[in-house]
Every structure is written in C-alpha cells, then in structure tokens.
Amino acid sequence: MSSGPRLARSVVVPVLISVVLLASLEGGCRVVRRLREGTWPVTRAVSYARFVEDIGRAYQPHPFLVASGRPNARLEKVGKVIQFNSLGYRGGPVDLPKPAGRFRILCAGGSTTFDLLATNNDTTWPARLAQVLRARTGRDVDVVNAGFPGWTSVESLVSLELRDIDLAPDLVIVFSGINETQPAGHEPFTPDYSQGHGELLPRILGLHPVPLRTASRFVFIEWLLDRAGKPSTKPEGFAPAWAWNGGARKNDIPPEAVAAFVRNLRSTAAVASANGAATLFVAQTALRRKGQETYDDEYIESWAPGLTAAGYRRAVERYNEGAEGLAKAGLASFVNPFDSGFEDADFNDPVHFSDAGSAKMAERIADAVVQNTSWSANR
C-alpha cells in the first residue's frame, strides 16, 4: 500500500472516531437532561440567539433609522409586554392632528426612554409622566414615547426630523448618552456612528441572525467548559452583543466623540425650535449596584466595544456635561434626575429602570417640565 492511502487512513479514521464519540456524548448529554428537565436542552448561546430572534419579530428594518417598531406589533417576553401602536411607537394611539389646547411631549432616546424592562406600556416612565402631569396641572397632556432600543442621538435626530416632528410636540425630551459609548469606543472614531454601532445594531436587535460558533451549539461542550472554568456571574441567557477583539479597552473616550454627541443634541434642539417646540435634555446614569458590581461591570462592557466599565461611566459623565453645556448656552433646559433620590432597587440592571424607578423618573421629569416649560406655548 502506498504512503498516500496509509496517511489518509491515519488521519480520517481518528477523525471519524472523534466525531462518533462527540456525537455519542452530545446525544447522551441531551437525553439525560431531557429526562431530568422535561424539555430538550440547548446551550446558553443558542437560547440567547433564539431570544434575540424572537424579539426581532417586533421590529422592522428602516432605510434611515436602521430599525424601528413594527406597527401594531406585540412582544411578550420574561414577564414583560410591549405593544406598538399603528405608527410604530411604544404606547397607545396618538391623536392626529393634535387636538386644540393639548400639550404634547415627545420623549426621544434609546432603550432607557423606551423603558425596555417596564412591565408593560402603562408602567413606562413616559406613560407615567403623562399621568403625573395631568394630575398635577389639570391640563390636557399626552406623551409620545419615541424611544427605541439601541438608538443613539443620531437615530433620534433623524426620527425627529423625518416623522416625530409631524406629531406637533410642544416639548421634546432627550434622554440619550449610554448608546453613544458604542461608536465612541471604536478605533478610529467615526462621527457618523457607522463603525462600532451602525453595522452592529441590526444583529443586536434580532434583525440579523446572531452568529454562533459551532462549538457553542454543543450541550456537552458547554457542560465541560462550565466545570473547567470559573462559575459565570452572568444570568442564564446573558451574552455579549459581540466579542471584543480590538485590543486593550480604554478608560475614556476621545474629544471627537463628545463633540459629535453635542453636535447631535444641538441639531435636535434646532429642529425642535424651528417647529415651535422647546427641548429638555436629561442626564443618564450607569450604576454599580451594591452586591452586583461584577455583573454590572460585565453588562456594560458587553455593550460598549473598546471601553472598560470605568471608561463607559466616564463617557456617560462627559456626555452629560456636554448636554448641560448646551443648556447653559440657552439652547435647551437640562435636568439630572439622578442627583438624589434614586436607589439600587430602582434599576433592573445598571441602566434600565425597575417599575419603581420608572415611577420615580416620571416624578422627577414632571418637576423639570413644570419648572421650565411655558404652559401657554401650545400651538
């Protein structure tokens, strides 16, 4: 027998044996867990991918906004219910044209404005804000939740110009900043947010399949890794939006990133003003909750490519300072609702509110609205 066939056999046979052995172990592991748990098991990575895919069914691609809410879609996951209206906003119907005498507020931002972890539409802080203002003032007030998961000030600005302003808001509330950390951590920084954000958002939102390594699909391999490594501090199903392979993470963001954010807010205030609306910028925060510091750090690092947890929080501080600077220049009002009164229990993770936090947020924003807004400015 020539050396070629012998060499092929010496390679192919061990490979086939390994494949059969792995398949047997994988099958056995799945059967055992099926008998114990009553359902066929999947790995955490597969579970996460399916979770994201399910969420993505409530969203739709948009040519200028990357993605937006699918009109009239309903999403129910982990005890939370999200309902989009016919315009693709989270919440109930919006009266068009705006009734005479009504004071309309439009809340712009990402998932913290959308209030992703609120139990339902009625418990989001924008919905509660409307209730609080009506009770305090006796006025005809409504609030449109124009926030959307993953959006930065870029998407919010485009949305305001292309569709939100047509709702005739009297006040635009901007609660943005944490999602800006994505493009800010990318090297090189791109002021249009195309890198480190624009190309990632469709996958994060479930519009594109989450890429999975072959090994991440094997229950047996996951079982081995769990026993070989340190216990995970992440909850079941948690996975980073992507793997960061860009080198050492940074503890701060470049000045160009802050300048781009301030530019976007300045443009937002200009669009609002040109259409007769005032603007209120709201500071954001990123907690390190007592007893959950490791999880909170891992959570925000998974969201911000290229930044450490400290760099993420520093970025939020710098964005807040930029927004406050515009307010001091007279372009808008500014409020930091987190300067006092909020506790760890008001958050379900480092940035998203619990229902208690949403209620507290509505009260704090209502204070700012009443103090800074001329209620005779209705169109």
pLDDT tens for 319-369 read 999 999 999 999 999 999 999 899 999 999 999 999 999 999 999 999 999
Residues 100 and 199 in one domain: yes
Residues 35 and 49 in one domain: no
Residues 32 and 51 in one domain: no
Q: How far apart are CA 136 and CA 367, in angstroms?
A: 10
Residues 97 and 12 in one domain: no
pLDDT value of residue 235: 41
Write the DSSP string, 140-204.
-EEEEE---TT--HHHHHHHHHHTGGGG--SEEEEE--GGGHHHHTSSS--TT-IIIIITTHHHH
Q: How far apart are CA 164 and CA 107, in angstroms?
A: 10
Neighbouring CB atoms inside 10 A of 227's CB total 8
Residues 174 and 106 in one domain: yes
pLDDT at 162 over 50: yes
pLDDT value of residue 237: 40
Residues 74 and 120 in one domain: yes
Q: How far apart are CA 294 and CA 290, in angstroms?
A: 10
95 three-state secondary structure: coil
Residues 18 and 154 in one domain: no
Residues 6+ apart with CB under 8 A from 350: 286, 287, 288, 289, 296, 299, 300
Q: What is the CATH number of the domain that holds 121?
A: 3.40.50.1110
The answer as to whether 378 is a domain residue is no
Strands 66-69, 59-62: pairing is antiparallel
pLDDT value of residue 43: 83
pLDDT in tens, 93-149: 999 999 999 999 999 999 999 999 999 999 999 999 999 999 999 999 999 999 999
- Mean pLDDT, rounded, for 275-295: 97
The answer as to whether 379 is a domain residue is no
The answer as to whether 377 is a domain residue is no
Q: How far apart are CA 167 and CA 162, in angstroms?
A: 11
One-letter amino acid of 173: I
pLDDT in tens, 41-77: 888 777 667 767 777 789 999 999 999 999 999 999 8
Asked if 113 and 91 touch (Cβ cutoff 8 Å), the reply is: no
Strand partners, 171: 105, 278
Phi, psi (degrees; rounded to nearest 5) at 188: -75, 155
Phi, psi (degrees; rounded to nearest 5) at 274: -65, -20
Q: Which residue has the tokens 């009770």?
A: 135
Question: In which domain, by residue range, is 22 found?
Answer: 1-39
Residues 72 and 58 in one domain: yes
pLDDT in tens, 9-30: 665 667 677 677 767 876 888 8
Residues 18 and 126 in one domain: no
Q: Which of 244, 230, 228, 212 is nearest to 42 (CA)?
A: 212
Residues 128 and 194 in one domain: yes
How many domains are contained in the chain? 2
The answer as to whether 345 is a domain residue is yes
Strands 80-83, 74-77: pairing is antiparallel
pLDDT value of residue 12: 66
pLDDT at 233 over 50: no
pLDDT at 379 over 50: no
Q: Which of 161, 158, 157 is nearest to 174 (CA)?
A: 157
Buried b (16+ CB within 10 A) or exposed e, 130-168: bebbeeeeeeebbbbbbbbbbbbbbbbbbbbbebbbebb
Asked if 154 and 195 touch (Cβ cutoff 8 Å), the reply is: no
Residues 34 and 101 in one domain: no
**Confidence class of residue 189 from pLDDT cuts 50, 70 and 90?**
very high
Residues 138 and 95 in one domain: yes
